[in-house]
Amino acid sequence: MSPDTPQSSGATPPEWVARAAELTAQLNHHSYAYYALDQPSVPDAEYDRLFQQLQALELQHPELITPDSPTQRVGATPLPFFRQVTHAVPMLSLGNGFSDEDVLAFGKRVADALAAAAGANTMDGNVVDTASAPVEYAADLKFDGLAINLRYENGLLVQAATRGDGATGEDVTANIRTVRAIPLRLRGDNIPTLLDVRGEVLMYKADFARLNERQRAAGLKEFANPRNAAAGSLRQLDSRITAHRRLRFFSYGIGLLEGAAMPDSHTGLMDWYRQLGLPVCQERALVQGVAGLLDFYRDIGQRRAELPYEIDGVVYKVNRFDQQQQLGFVARAPRYALAHKFPAEEALTTVLDIEVQVGRTGAITPVARLKPVAVGGVIVTNATLHNEDEVRRKDIRIGDSVIVRRAGDVIPEVVAYVPEARTEQVREFQMPVACPVCGSPIVRLEDETIARCSGGWIKCSAQRKGGLQHFVSRRAMDVDGLGEQLIDQLVDKNLIVTAADLYKLGFVALAELERMADKSAQNVLAALEKSKSTTLARFIYALGIRHVGEATAKELARHFGSLDALVDASELQLLEVADVGPVVAQSMIGFFTDPLNRELLEQLRAAGVHWPEHAAAERTPMPLQGNTFVLTGTLPNLSREAAQARIEAAGGKVAGSVSKKTTYVVAGAEAGSKLAKAEELGITILDEQKLIALLENA
Ligand code: IVH
């Protein structure tokens, strides 16, 4: 029995003591496999089952409870306040770099200082030899969370403290104990008598999204980003709240160490941590010299959006501890490390106005006009507010200071306003009653979140433009070189009204447009000509019928085989198509019975737009009909597009997210939350091999 186990009265049957110890070991092992190794060993349900067994056992025999029992993570009573903790070794900050030049300068400082130190150690002061070997660096991710110090005494977690001002932080032990990624007891036999583990507490993006969903449902304030959510969760005086917040942890440094040998490098320390059961992020590298650092930065930069958590850069550390010691510190940051930051994805700016934009279906989108600000490396002047309800829910007003976010290729959005900065002068947004483009009334149906311009494309040039942009877009008719500005000009000059008019454009009309060289005009004409040869699915999608997206268009093309069969289909016939419900069917009937649309179809065909057709009766068998697949992670051989094409060719559908309707989840390397969700819902999971077998036997 461990010295920490409360002594039982002697009445506890030994087999129960053994059973409790066994359950604790099993549960701790599963958490270790899940969080530290990133290799889940059992489904969540099995973990919960073992957990409940242990809980029941401990309830009957409280003397069995140990401090590292997984049932003891959540405290029973809230704290009155957080105690102050003085760090045994101060928690420093990092110097920042923003450009390749900054990294080169850092590399030079390091190399020069190490060479000088080596020179000082040799009698003749000759530094040339040592300076020529590239320095070895450990490159880590810079997690966007909160720095934490975990104190382990004889392997047991005894205290956790925030960074605070670096010298003193707050005691958040009760909250940190609820974080399942953090072991309550270290594993293995090389256990130090005292260890201060440094690392970052953070929240995964998927857990953040779920938390905000819950907050919204409960009418509570949403968090602006995962970092704020993690901070807010750690600042709870009631650890029962923190326990519901799914925080994570990655180790990256060390404070005090007693009673075990210090490894001789950062990578050595990380390997030891992993043996001790502490989570260490595996997205890291050991590289040589500055060139290696920059490669790492670019590689991670490209994959940043796919990571399950947010990072704001990468951190470079001289790998060898003896060299770190030689380099020492400047002010409050080590000379041996550098944080190489990515361009910020969020920035603070002011809402100058809120206007509305009209989309191709007439949807009215409120857009915030912003004081120009750099976000993620570009200047942002507009950000979407999605719809009227969003504006109210986030309570964004004209004149507010706001957080703007732009991640990857996503359209910039207004995340939240800054309450402390709000003045009396702010003004609320009013949804206009008339379309700002055509003046038609704006209507919002009772059960819809979207308000729409009622003008239709005949009256509203904004809808016309949107419809034409959609028609020529890459996944529709794929007309290269016909961008938004050209379409705007063509519509504004009344050179085109419908998509059919595009094919009537001549060289002279095009070449006379602003910023249009003869060569470009010829290219546009060639692209239009090329687009005439298409597929039925693309053509249906290009028409922009409401509720008919790409997947539905593919289904319809497959099912009906020809445009005439589709145009003449009754509601019942449409409903036969998997994926078509009453709303979609009604929308299509409405479209095809409109004489103007019939006329458009005739004109397009007369212009020479064509595609291969087949009779509905000749349809190829569709063995995977009715099965919905979700693809996640990277498959060893098939690209995502290839896998999707093969599934669809066999009649299956590919969806973007896992739900109860999903039949199969195809998981490859680095599959993330979708895989977890599939496991949770008990959905069959296939690897590439099994998928191919299914396709071939289908
Ligand atoms: S090492 C001597 N490694 O960045 C300082 N810090 O700007 C040791 N951070 O407060 C810090 N990821 O919260 C280190 N892989 C990483 C990190 C990291 C995030 C944070 C940490 C620290 C801040 C310094």
Give distance in angstroms: CA of 308 to centre of ligand 1.
19
**Ligand 1 binding pocket includes 313 (Cβ within 6 Å):** no
Q: What is the second-level CATH architecture of the domain 456-531?
A: Orthogonal Bundle (1.10)
What number does CATH give the domain 345-454?
2.40.50.140
Output the CA 287–ligand 1 centroid distance in Å: 19
142 is catalytic: yes
- Residue to substitute in 141, 227, 252, 316 for testing ligand 1 pocket (most ligand atoms within 8 angstroms of CB): 252
Quickly state the pLDDT bin for 122 (edges 50, 70, 90): low
The C-alpha atoms of residue 434 and residue 430 are separated, in whole angstroms, by 12
pLDDT for 695 equals 85
Give the global pTM.
0.67
Tokens 């198509």 map to which residue? 577
* CB-ligand 1 contact for 58 (6 Å cutoff): no
199 lines ligand 1 (CB under 6 A): no
The residue nearest atom 17 of ligand 1, judged by CA position, is 142
CATH code of the domain occupying 628-697: 3.40.50.10190
Give first-to-last CA distance, the chain, whole Å.
58
What mean pLDDT is predicted for residues 633-657?
85
282 closest CA partner among 303, 255, 262: 303
**CATH architecture of the domain with residue range 14-73:** Orthogonal Bundle (1.10)
Q: What is the pLDDT of residue 617?
A: 46
Ligand 1: residue of 87, 89, 91, 93 to mutate (most ligand atoms within 8 A of CB) is 93
pLDDT digits (tens, 9 = 90+) for 41-95: 888 889 999 999 999 999 999 999 998 899 999 887 888 889 999 999 999 999 9
Does residue 514 register a pLDDT over 90?
no
Residue 338 CA, ligand 1 centroid: distance in Å: 9
**Pocket flag, ligand 1, residue 253 (CB < 6 Å):** yes
231 C-beta closer than 6 A to ligand 1: no
Kindly report, residue by residue over 228-251, the tens digit of the pLDDT.
Answer: 999 999 999 999 999 999 999 999
Q: What are phi and psi of 276, to 5 degrees?
A: -75, -5
Average pLDDT on 574-599 reads: 91
Residue 128: pLDDT over 90: no
Q: Provide the 3-class DSSP secondary structure of residue 589.
A: helix
Give the tens place of pLDDT for each residue, 416-438: 999 999 999 999 999 999 999 99
- Active-site choice (108, 142, 653, 660): 142
Contact 238, 78 (CB under 8 A): yes
Ligand 1 near 144 CB (within 6 A): no
Ramachandran region, residue 198 (left: φ > 0; alpha: ψ -120 to 50; beta: rest): beta
Strand partners, 630: 655, 665
Shortest-distance atom of ligand 1 to CA 140: 15
pLDDT at 1: 41
136-341 matches 14-73 in CATH topology: no
CATH of 136-341, one of 3.10.129.10, 3.40.50.300, 1.10.357.10, 3.30.470.30: 3.30.470.30
The protein residue with its alpha carbon nearest to ligand 1, atom 2, reads 92
Reduce the DSSP state of residue 192 to 3 states and report it.
Answer: coil
199: CB partners within 8 A, 6+ apart: 147, 148, 150, 249, 250, 251, 252, 253, 278, 279
Tokens matching residue 514 = 């602003």
- Residues with Cβ < 8 Å from 3, sequence gap 6 or more? none
Cα(36)–Cα(280) distance, rounded to whole angstroms? 7
**What mean pLDDT, rounded, does the chain reach?**
90
CATH classification number, 536-606, choose in 1.10.150.20, 3.20.20.140, 3.40.50.1820, 3.10.20.340: 1.10.150.20
Q: Is the CB of 140 under 6 A from ligand 1?
A: yes
The residues spanned by each domain of the chain are 14-73, 136-341, 345-454, 456-531, 536-606, 628-697
- Residues β-bridged to residue 628: 653
Is any atom of ligand 1 closer than 6 Å to the C-beta of 334?
yes
pLDDT at 672: 77
